[in-house]
Structure formats: structure tokens, C-alpha cells
Copies of this chain bind each other. A is one copy, B any other.
Amino acid sequence: MRMTPEEEVLEKAGKARRAAQVLAGLSADVKNGALQAMADGLEKNVQRILGENARDLEEFGKTSPTSSLVDRLLLNRERVLEMAQGIREVAGLRDPVGEVVEGWVTAQGLRVERVRVPLGVIGLIYEARPNVTADAASLCIKSGNAILLRGGSEAVRSNTAIASLLRDSSKHLIPEDSIQIVETTDRRAVAAMLGARGQIDLIIPRGGAGLIQFVVENARVPVIETGIGNCHVYVDKDANLQWAGDIVYNAKVQRPSVCNAAEKLLVHSGVARAFLPGIVKRLREAGVEIRSCPKTREIVPDAREATEDDWYREYLDLIIGVKVVDSVEEAIEHINKYGSKHSEAIVTDNYENAERFLRDVDAAAVYVNASTRLTDGYQYGMGAEIGISTQKLHARGPMALRELTTTKFIVRGQGHIRR
């Protein structure tokens, strides 16, 4: 008898839960061995993955042949080998489990330690790119967690093939049920995951604003919001304009489809005439559309007018909103009102303005004289990341292995009681 989507989710979450209890007690050596075996498994089965991916692409091409989405869905030999290499890099990272975060002896002689332990079962709800399957699974296994994956329906064959290879190639070392993938494409499976309190310890949504909004609105399982980025670069009156130009160009153009790309440029009125014509020219040459405030149009008359809605938007495209402001305070106020609290940058050589921006802008990452594109686990030297959190609880900014753990208090006494 066929299972309902709810039954499939609960059964797989239950299997993951039991696997997690075993995983929590495994040594780093065993987990690293499993990760190396997973990498081997992918490398030996490139053709099988590409075959399933071709079927996904064929199916997808019938309905929504947008080229950028096809590019995200497409796998080739190189991309599969990169996935395997990524898993080996995770194996090389330090195991966060067992770390004694802090410890002390109380006045009464009680020995208190706060020790890092896995969260348990992580639910990942994601879209498009099949490499996320391997990336997320390897980070979860390394941190001692089981994972329940729910990818987009357009990639279901690729994702299922990858998850199946990861399971098979590591089952001699870790429980086979450590990696679970929801195979139904019925959207009720997502709702079932979001309601699985006690079965799933954390849900991470990775995808567009619509997916993340849906998850946040409907989840009763704890969620970490990731990756909505309406990021700003503010060019102060005391900016090094060479740096400013390079940073704005990099933040907007280097990879416009990602969350840490800049969506807005704020320029101090004192340097607007000196700075705007040159950067607008450079951006337009790269195909960027300018949407602007009235003061910007005094300098760039042919720019399109930005609506109120524009200031809130994450374009993920070659579009930038440009606004002239009269002070660092006005820039900060604008960012705190319209921004998504992801990554925000000031370009300045003014000490006071730099410090004020760093202190008063409320965001996961704030920059002086650097591009917002640098918000990334690898760029920060933290190793792989499972997402960039834009919420304040538990994790903020690039999330790596440590953010997939919690702590417990371990307390040792000699007959201690409370008086």
C-alpha cells in the first residue's frame, strides 16, 4: 500500500531519529571514514548521477525552460567531482562534537561543564541545485546529526540518486538511515515536515523568498531563516572612491543571483557628483539597470525612478537601486528600515563614521571597505557552510558545523542536593 506524504515524512523522520542516537556517539574517525566513502561513492558513479540528472532536465524542459534555472539544475562530470571534493573537505574539518565550551566548579563543589552535542535530526527544504544534497548531508553527518532532505520536485531524480549513493557507500560505518530523502513531490510533505515537532529538531529552508516565507509562517519545528539579502553599499563623503567603485561593482556584478550581492547603492551627497557618473557607466556596461531617487536623477537623468517597493526588494538580478543621502545617519536609518539584516557595507576613510556604521547597522555582517559578497563560510575561513542565517537566534551569518550543534550541561556531584 502506498504511503501518504505525511506517512512517508513521519516514517523517515523516525528512522532518522534512531540513526541520530547512534551517530551522536560515533568518533570523528568513524564519521570521517564514512565521509571519505561517500566521496568515493559519488566519484565511482558519476554516470549514474548524470543519467538521473538528464531525466530531471528532460522533464523540467517540458514545463519551465528558464535558462538560469536549467543552469542551477544541470550536473556534469566536473560538478559531481566537485561535490565529492567538497565532502572530503568536510571530512578534514574539526569535529565540533564533544567540545567542552566552558566548565567550572561551583562554590559547593559541583563540577559543571557545557559540552557540545549534535542537534539530532535536521530537516532541509531546498530548491534546484542538486549539489546541496551532498553538501548538507556531509555537514550533518560530520556534526553527528541525521538529515531528512526535501529537495525541489524538478531535481527529485538527481537528489534521490545522490542520497542513495551516499547511504549505500557509507552504511558499513554509520547507520544507513542517517540520510533520508523525501521522494514524493507532493507539497503536503513540506507541511508534514514543518509540523513534525519532536521528530525534527531544526528545519533549514534554502531557496527563494517565497519558500522561506512559507516555512517561517507555517513551521512549528524550530527554523533558521537563511539567505534573503537586500544588501546595501554606502559610499561615505570621505570614501576612497577607487575602493568604492571596485566594491560597488564587485558587490553588484560578480554574481548577481546570490543573497550577498548588493541590491542598493547609497551615496553621500558630498561625493555624488564625483562618484555616480563613473560607477553608473561601469555598471551599465555590465548590463546593470539603474533605479534611482530624484537626487540621483539630477546627476544621472536617464535613470528609471525607483518606487517605494524597490527599496525593499531583493532583485537577484542585474538591477540596482541608487539613492543619494545627506549623512551616515540617513544611510543607517535607510538600511535599518529597508534592509533584510544580511550584509551591509560602508566605504569610508572616516573613523567615526566607520565605527558608527558598524555599531548601529543591525545586520548579520557589517563591513568597512569590503564587498558584501564576502559573507560566506569559505571567504571567512570557517570552512563549508550550510546557509547564511539572517535571524538572530542560535546562528547569525554563515552557518557551519558548530551551528549544527547544541550544548548540554553535564554536572558531576558527590551526593549534592539543593539547600
Residues of A with Cβ closer than 8 Å to B?
Answer: 21, 24-25, 104, 106-108, 110, 112, 114, 119-120, 197, 201-202, 216-217, 220, 222, 224, 240, 242-243, 246-247, 250-251, 254-255, 336, 358-360, 362-371, 373-376, 379-381, 391-394, 396-398, 406-418
Interchain CB contact (< 8 A) of A412 among B247, B368, B380: B368
For A379, what are the chain B residues with a Cβ–Cβ distance below 8 Å? 106, 108, 110, 418
User: Could you tell me the distance in whole angstroms from the C-beta of A203 to the nearest C-beta in chain B?
Assistant: 11
Known contacts A104-B381, A106-B380, A220-B217: A396-B415 contact under CB 8 Å: no
Interface centre among A107, A202, A398, A409 (most CB of B within 10 A): A409
5 contacts between A and B (CB under 8 A): A108-B379, A112-B381, A369-B413, A370-B412, A371-B417
A369 to B336, CA, bound (A): 51
Provide the residues of chain B in CB contact with A394, threshold 8 Å: 393-394
Given the known interface contacts A220-B217, A374-B411, A411-B368, the answer about A120 and B417 at a Cβ–Cβ threshold of 8 Å is no
Say yes or no: A364 contacts B250, CB within 8 Å.
no
Those 5 A-B pairs whose CB atoms lie nearest each other, nearest first: A370-B413, A243-B415, A250-B417, A373-B418, A370-B416
Contacts A358-B410, A364-B408 aside, 10 further interface pairs with beta carbons under 8 A come to A21-B336, A21-B360, A119-B392, A216-B220, A222-B391, A250-B418, A366-B409, A366-B410, A374-B411, A397-B409
Contact in complex: A359, B25 (CB < 8 Å): yes
B-side contacts of A412, CB under 8 Å: 367-370
Shortest beta-carbon distance from A112 to chain B in Å:
5
Which residues of B sit under 8 angstroms from A364, Cβ to Cβ? 408-409
Complex Cα distance A221/B120, Å?
Answer: 23
In whole angstroms, how far apart are the Cα atoms of A246 and B419 in the complex?
Answer: 11
Q: How far is the CA of A418 from the CA of B106 in the complex (A)?
A: 48
* Nearest CB on B from A259, distance (A): 13
CB distance from A301 to the nearest CB of B (A): 29
State A367–B240 Cα separation when bound (angstroms). Answer: 58
A416 to B380, CA, bound (A): 12
